[in-house]
Chains A and B, each alone.
Chain A
Amino acid sequence: MSGIDRALLRGMTRARMSRRGLLAAAGAAAAGAALSGCGVGGQGGPAPESEDFWAGKESNGELGFANWPLYMDADRTQLKEFTEATGITVDYDEAVQENHSFFGKIQPKLAKGESIGYDLMVLSTGIELAKLVELGYLAPLDHDKLPNFADYAGSTYQDPGYDPGNRFTVPYTSGITGIAYNPEYVDREITGIADLWRPEFEGKVGMMADPQEIANFGLLLNGTAPADSTEEDWEKAADRLKEQRDKGIVRRYYQQDYIQPLTNGDVWLSMAWSGDVFQQNAEEGAGLEFIVPEEGATLWSDLMMIPATAANPVDALMLMDFLYEPDVAAGLCEYINYIPPVPEVQNILKEKAAEASGDEKAFLEDLVGSPLVFPTEDDYSQLHNYVPLSVEQEETFSPLFLSVTQS
C-alpha cells in the first residue's frame, strides 16, 4: 500500500473517538452482554507449568484475536503480513471495549474450561489482569518461541513488576496517564497533580472513573508510590479524592470520553492518556498540552495474552512474536500513536519520515519527535507501575475507590 493511501485511509477511518476508548454506546452494549453472561463460576487454580501446557501442541493454521477498537488499521495490514509470512489466517475482532466488561463476558466460559473463541486477547495492566492470573485463566508463555520479544522489546517492558518474567503477557502498546489541559482556558502553568485540586478550577476538572487510575493519582499526590502502597495509603488517597469531589472541583469522572469535552472547554484540565492527546492534536489541531506530573505518573500497557483454554495457542504465540518484528511494530505505531514496546520503531519511522513528503512527512516527524509516543529515559524514570493487587487486597481496593466515583 502506498504511503498516500495510508494517510488517506487514516483520515477516513479515524472516527472521532479515542483509540483505547469507545462510545459509551459500545460500553453499554458490552455491559448488557456481560451481564447476561454472568455465571456463578469461580474455582480458579494455579496456571499449568509452561512445558506441560505446550507439550504436544501444534499450529492449526488459524487463530482468533480480540483487540481494542482502532488498535489496528481497517485493512489489518499487519495481519495480512502475518498470513503471508506464515500461512496462518487470523479472525480479528474488536471485541474489547472495557477491561471489566470483557472480563465479565469471558469469565464464565474460562471458569468452565471452555474456549472463549479467542486465542489471543489484549487487556490492560490492572485489576482484571491480576484476576486472570490468580484464577489460572492464562497460558504461561513459552519464551523459546518468542525470540523477537527477547531481541527487540525495550527494557521497561521486559520482566515488569506486574508480570515478573513476562510469564503470561507481553505488551501490545503502552501509554502514560498524565494530565492534559487546554491552554485556551487555563492561563497558569500546570505542573502536577496538585493543580487538579485547585479551587479556582471548580467544576472544570475531569478525573477518570477507573478505580485504579484514580487511586494512582490520589496516591502520587500523597507522595506514595503506587507499587509500595498499603491499605492505609489507599484510605488516605481516597480521602483526598473525596475532598476534591466534595469541593465541587471535579466536573465528572470520565470512562474514556474526556478528550472532546477537553477540546470544547467543558473541562479545562483532566487526567488523560498520552496517545489520545497526541491524536487529538494531530488530527483536530486541538492544541492541548500534556504533562507528566511532577509527583509522577503511571505507565500502563495493553498486554497480549493467551487464554489457557485457547484452541490455537501455538498460532497465537507466533502472532505475538511476529508483532515484535521492528518493521511490523513500526507499522502498528504509525496507526495507533501510543508508545510501542519496541524502541527501534523510532529509528524506522525516522527513516520513513526522511523519505516521505507532504502531510505524511509532517505527521511522521511529529510522531517520532513526540515525547508522548517515544518517552525519554528521564520521562520513564518518572513513571510508575500499577499497584499489584492480591485477591484479598482487591476486595478492599475497588469498592474503596468506587465509593469516590459513584457518588
Chain B
Amino acid sequence: MTDERRPRLTARAAPYLLVAPAWLWLAVFFVVPIATVLSMSLMSGNLYDGYSLTWEFGNYAAAVGAYWEQIARSLVYGACATVLCILIGYPCAYWIAFRGGAYKNAYLLLLLLPMFVSFVLRTISWKALLADQGIILGTLKGIGLLPEDAYVLNSAPAVVFGLAYNFLPFMVLPVYAVLERMDHRVVEAARDLYAGPVRAFTRVVLPMSLPGVFAGVIMTFIPTSADYVNATVLGGAHNTMVGKVIENQYLVNNAYPMAASITFVLMAVLLVGIFGYARALGTDRVMEASAR
C-alpha cells in the first residue's frame, strides 16, 4: 500500500519541486530588484539627506522631459540594428539550415566563436579596425575611394554597426532553429504547384519562419536598445544612448530616483513596443509557435 503511495506523492510534487529553483531565482534576482528600483523611482531626496519614498511621480515627467531625445535615439539605434540583424542573419540562418549539409554544426560554431571573447573586448577591437587611418578606412582613403577627412568611428553608423555585430547570433539562432525543423517537402510541394523560387519563399518559407524572426527580434531589439557599451566605445559626441544616461545619473549625479525612473520609462516603452509588435503579427499564433 505505502509502496504504491509514495511514488505517487513524489510524482505529484515533482513538477513543483522542479520549477521551484526557477521561481526562487526569479523572486530573488528579478522581483526584488524590480520592486526596489520601482520604489526608488518614486523617492525624493539627495545623497546627503538620504532618500525617502514620497510617491514622487514627477520623477517620470522629469525623466521623459530631460532625456526623451536619448530614449528615442536608443530605440532608433536598436531598431536599425535589429533590421540589420534580420537582413544579415536571415540569409545566414537560411543558408546554414538548407545548404549547410553535414557541416551545419561547424558553421554554427563559427558563428558563435566570437562570442567566446568578452563582449566589451570585441567592441573595443572595432575601434582599431575602424580607425581613421586603420586597415579599412586607411586603405579606402589610400586608393581614393574615400575623402581624406571621412570617418566612421564615433558616429551613429559605427554604433548601429557595433550593436548589430554583437547581437547577430541572437537573431540567427532562433531563425535557424525554426528553419532547420521545417519540413523541406512543403517547399517541394509549392514548386510542384508552380510557385517560382521567390514565390515559394515568400508564401511558404517566410511565413513559417516568422516565429523565429519574432523571437530573434525580441532577443536583439530589447538588449540593443538598452545597451550602453557600444555607444560608449564606438559612439561620438552626439550618440549617447539611454543606458549611459542611466549610468551617469546613478554614478555621477547620484540621482538614484531619476535613474530609476528613466529605467522604468525605457522598460515601459519597450514592453508597449513588443506587445504592439506581437499584436500586429498575431500574438497567439506567434507565441504558440515560438513556444513549440
Chain A residues engaging chain B, CB cutoff 8 angstroms: 23-25, 28, 31, 34-35, 38, 40-44, 98, 100-101, 103-104, 107, 127, 131, 134-135, 203-204, 207, 211, 245, 250-253, 255, 260-261, 264-266, 391, 395, 398-399, 402, 405-407
Interface core residue of B40, B131, B247, B250 (most chain A CB under 10 Å)? B247
**Structural contact, A40 and B253, CB atoms closer than 8 A:** no
Cβ of B47: which chain A residues have Cβ within 8 Å of it? 41-42, 107, 131, 135
Cβ of B133: which chain A residues have Cβ within 8 Å of it? 264-266
Interface core residue of B229, B235, B253, B255 (most chain A CB under 10 Å)? B253
**Structural contact, B48 and A42, CB atoms closer than 8 A:** yes
Whether a CB of chain A sits under 8 angstroms from the CB of B134 is yes
Distance A43 CA – B51 CA, assembled complex (angstroms) = 9
**Structural contact, A266 and B153, CB atoms closer than 8 A:** yes
Distance A265 CA – B236 CA, assembled complex (angstroms) = 15
Known: A35-B250, A265-B133, A407-B69. 12 other contacts (CB 8 A): A24-B229, A25-B121, A34-B250, A40-B51, A42-B45, A43-B49, A104-B251, A134-B48, A207-B237, A251-B237, A406-B240, A406-B244
**Structural contact, B248 and A402, CB atoms closer than 8 A:** yes
Q: Which of A35, A44, A98, A264 contacts B132 (CB 8 A)?
A: A264
With A25-B118, A43-B50, A252-B154 as given contacts, are A402 and B45 in contact (CB-CB < 8 Å)? no
Whether a CB of chain A sits under 8 angstroms from the CB of B149 is yes
**Structural contact, A252 and B134, CB atoms closer than 8 A:** no
Q: Interface size for chain B: under 10, 10 to 19, 20 to 34, or 35 or more residues?
A: 35 or more
Distance A211 CA – B47 CA, assembled complex (angstroms) = 18
The 3 closest A-B pairs by CB, nearest first: A42-B50, A25-B120, A406-B240
Distance A131 CA – B48 CA, assembled complex (angstroms) = 8
Chain B residues engaging chain A, CB cutoff 8 angstroms: 40, 43, 45-51, 69-70, 118, 120-121, 124, 127, 131-134, 149, 151, 153-154, 229, 232-233, 235-238, 240, 244-245, 247-248, 250-256
**Nearest residue in B to A210 (C-beta to C-beta)?**
B252
Cβ of B151: which chain A residues have Cβ within 8 Å of it? 203, 251, 266
* Interchain residue pairs with CB less than 8 A apart (6): A100-B252, A245-B238, A264-B133, A266-B153, A398-B252, A402-B248
**Nearest residue in A to B121 (C-beta to C-beta)?**
A25
**Nearest residue in B to A98 (C-beta to C-beta)?**
B251
Distance A48 CA – B233 CA, assembled complex (angstroms) = 43
Distance A398 CA – B253 CA, assembled complex (angstroms) = 6
**Structural contact, B240 and A31, CB atoms closer than 8 A:** no
Cβ of B43: which chain A residues have Cβ within 8 Å of it? 40
Cβ of A44: which chain B residues have Cβ within 8 Å of it? 48
Cβ of A23: which chain B residues have Cβ within 8 Å of it? 120, 124
Cβ of B250: which chain A residues have Cβ within 8 Å of it? 34-35, 38, 104
**Structural contact, A25 and B49, CB atoms closer than 8 A:** no
Cβ of A135: which chain B residues have Cβ within 8 Å of it? 47-48
**Structural contact, A31 and B48, CB atoms closer than 8 A:** no
Q: Which of A42, A204, A406 contacts B51 (CB 8 A)?
A: A42
**Nearest residue in A to B245 (C-beta to C-beta)?**
A406
Distance A395 CA – B45 CA, assembled complex (angstroms) = 12
Distance A164 CA – B265 CA, assembled complex (angstroms) = 44
Cβ of B131: which chain A residues have Cβ within 8 Å of it? 261, 264-266
Interface core residue of A40, A44, A103 (most chain B CB under 10 Å)? A40
**Structural contact, A101 and B251, CB atoms closer than 8 A:** yes
**Nearest residue in B to A265 (C-beta to C-beta)?**
B133
**Structural contact, A406 and B50, CB atoms closer than 8 A:** no
Distance A380 CA – B88 CA, assembled complex (angstroms) = 57
Shortest C-beta distance, A404 to chain B (Å), equals 9
